[in-house]
Amino acid sequence: MSKLTFERPIIQRINAGLPSKYGMPRRLDPISHIDGTSIKSLLDEFGSPLFVISEQTIRKTYKEAHRAFSSRYPNVQFSWSYKTNYLNAVCNVFHQEGAWAEVVSGFEYQKAIENGVPGELIIFNGPDKSTDDLRLAIENNSLIHIDHFDELYELIHLSKEMGERPKVAIRVNMDTGFYPLWDRFGFNFENGEAWDALNRVMASKTLDLLGLHTHIGTYILSTDGYRIAAEKLASLAVKLEKKYGHVLKYIDLGGGFASKNTLRGAYYPGTDTAPSFDDFAEAITSALMSSEIKPDHLPMLILETGRAMIDEAGFLAGSVLATKRLADGRRATIIDVGVNILFTSFWYDHDIRPVEAVSDQSEDTTIYGPLCMNIDVIRGNIMFPLLKKGDHFVIRRVGAYNMTQWMQFITLRPNVIMLDSKGKPHLIRKKESLETINSLENTPEHLKNFEL
Amino acid sequence: MLKIKSTIAISDSGFVFDAGTGDSFSLNNTGLEIVRLIKEGKDFPEIIQKVSEKYEVDEESFERYYYDFVATLNQLNLIEKDGED
């Protein structure tokens, strides 16, 4: 007779009369496969931890977003937000689907060029554009979104010096009912600064004003802010046409759509609260369509949503390093994924699941990363199955920001693979080694030797 | 020798009731098995033998989980304090 599987022995207090506000305890069902490929086999082949990106999910999400907007508005263009995930393979999936590139630094700009994005289809946002960056963007006919007056005047200067006509848009910040107000980027709508900037651009006669841009915030759970933003930008477009007879080519509503992750401390899960692409599309397009803009002058609608496009496609698989008991008797599980590679665990209660069906029981658990740092907490408390050392887990919805904001800190950054549409794995970023890190360092001659 | 408090009743399904305090607890299968063996007065070598006959577990892992589990029982006041070695 074969022996039974051993489960870690546990005893839990029953708190009768104190029902959980979340109802019955939720069982965390294991996730053993991504796109039909076994997570265990991927960990065996590529090591633990491991980022896994589903190409299929990216394409599906893109198509869903595109359909939501293009079925409501005649001229829609998506632009891939590089900072959200600028692994070249990821960017190229979006480019293959038809997205332009949206970049916020010289480094990202170069990345987009190297990926083969034509210069005129790169939107250059953000407060950090060096003179050299601007020169290159002007030469390439890229769309420069002006963030502040210093940049505006530099562009006027460069246009004269280079004898070129830079293609520009003005970034506008505004009150859409959200706090905090992102007034650090662009020119304010309410105090008239945005209108001043537009007048200045028109007066220069050397800048080619193509559009208006705003980006109202991040992880926005209400669609109403986008309606207000679209109305305000439309009113500026109408004013421009009235005063100068100038018709804008595009209005760029930026991004910030919430993904289905759950914010820390949120009462309901993100899967229930995040609006759909259709909800966002309805708010934005109906505001533009019902604005005073003449129907045959309706500008192209550009969207730069990053988070909602890629979060769902990213998974982070790993292994349990140890379990221990805390001073108050609660369980602690230590995993090989820390906040240095899962930056978003500072904001989200990530959905973390066992890979193998190890146990029907769960325990009140704190999940810690491997770093010898007190801040390294992946989940503060979660009813989690009884995983043992060596068992595997997978964290869902990690596609946005983690593979750009990750840090080489204490541990090294792991392999990233992409599963193609058939579920076949491709290594798209190699894990770092001691050599990767040391190759950037230089030890002065007099510090090379020591005796202990 | 470990001794489970005399006020404690344990059902076949792993439901634990402490008549002394009114607290109730639930055990998983392996937990129930171990508590029963402790109640029967078995010591650690006997317990490990019994458990490893039935379950797929090596001695080293079992020892680790066993002592951790016993510490939890202690913390929950289910062990007779004067019953310790």
- Segments in chain A below pLDDT 50: none
- A11 — contact with chain B (CB < 8 Å)? yes
Neighbours of B65 (CB within 10 A): 22
CA distances from A97 to A5, A65, A256, A276, A321 (A): 47, 12, 20, 20, 40
Closest B-chain CA to A330:
B72
- Which sequence spans correspond to the domains of chain B? 8-78
- One CATH from 1.10.10.10, 3.20.20.10, 3.40.50.261, 1.10.730.10 for A55-311: 3.20.20.10
Whose tokens are 């995983």? That residue is A387
- Which sequence spans correspond to the domains of chain A? 33-52+312-432, 55-311
Residues in chain A closer than 8 A to B66 (CB atoms): 9
Report the alpha-carbon distance of residue B15 to residue A356 in Å, rounded: 27
Are the C-beta atoms of residues A366 and A332 closer than 8 Å to each other? yes
Query: What is the least distance, in Å, from the CA of A10 to any CA of chain B?
Result: 5
- Predicted confidence at residue A357, as pLDDT, reads 85
pLDDT digits (tens, 9 = 90+) for A40-82: 999 999 999 999 999 999 999 999 999 999 999 999 999 999 9
Q: Do A6 and B68 touch (CB under 8 A)?
A: no
Q: Do B54 and A4 touch (CB under 8 A)?
A: yes
- A408 — contact with chain B (CB < 8 Å)? no
Residues in chain A closer than 8 A to B68 (CB atoms): 324-325
Which amino acid type is present at position A37? T
Neighbours of A47 (CB within 10 A): 14
Per the model's pLDDT, the better-predicted residue between A46 and B6 turns out to be: A46
Closest B-chain CA to A14:
B25
Report the alpha-carbon distance of residue A356 to residue A385 in Å, rounded: 10
- Predicted confidence at residue A25, as pLDDT, reads 53
Q: How many residues does chain A have?
A: 452
- A5 — contact with chain B (CB < 8 Å)? yes
Q: Do B24 and A14 touch (CB under 8 A)?
A: yes
- B2 — contact with chain A (CB < 8 Å)? no
We find that the CATH architecture of domain A33-52+312-432 is Beta Barrel (2.40)
- Predicted confidence at residue A265, as pLDDT, reads 84
Q: Do B28 and A5 touch (CB under 8 A)?
A: no
Whose tokens are 């008991």? That residue is A325
Whose tokens are 């590529």? That residue is A46
Closest CA to A275 of A260, A263, A261, A288: A260
Nearest to A9 among B28, B75, B78 (CB): B28
Which amino acid type is present at position A56? Q
Report the alpha-carbon distance of residue A365 to residue A326 in Å, rounded: 10
**What is the CA angle A93-A95-A100, rounded to 5?**
145
pLDDT digits (tens, 9 = 90+) for B16-70: 999 888 889 999 999 999 999 998 989 999 999 999 899 988 888 899 889 989 9
Pair of tokens at residue A71: 């079925």
